[in-house]
Amino acid sequence: MLINRSDISVLQHLSTVKELVPIEEIPDSFQSDFNKYFFGKTLVKDDQNHLFVYPSDIRRWIRVLFSTYK
């Protein structure tokens, strides 16, 4: 997996967000880890069929991600 600084800065930003996070904001390099972690978890869909993740779940996932690749 190739990770660059912009991916890390996006994760850092997502870890501080207080509103629902659209899954389109997840960097492609972390997409498979995201899919594994959020398999079976609750996602929120809006009127236009966009999926969102709760901010607390994103923060928990980022902690797991950093501990895994540390």
For residue 11, the number of C-alpha atoms closer than 13 Å in the C-beta half-sphere is 21
Gap between the Cα atoms of 49 and 56, Å rounded: 21
Looking at residue 1, what is its pLDDT? Answer: 62
Query: What DSSP letter does each residue of 12-65 carry, written as one string?
Result: HHHTT--S-EEGGGS-GGGHHHHHHHTTTS--EE-TT--EEE-HHHHHHHHHHH
pLDDT tens digit sequence for 8-48: 899 999 999 999 999 999 999 999 999 999 998 889 999 99
Torsion of CA 57, 50, 22, 58, to 10 degrees: 10
pLDDT at 62 over 70: yes
Looking at residue 18, what is its pLDDT? Answer: 95
Looking at residue 66, what is its pLDDT? Answer: 87
Looking at residue 56, what is its pLDDT? Answer: 94
Looking at residue 4, what is its pLDDT? Answer: 85
Q: Where are the domains of the chain?
A: 5-68
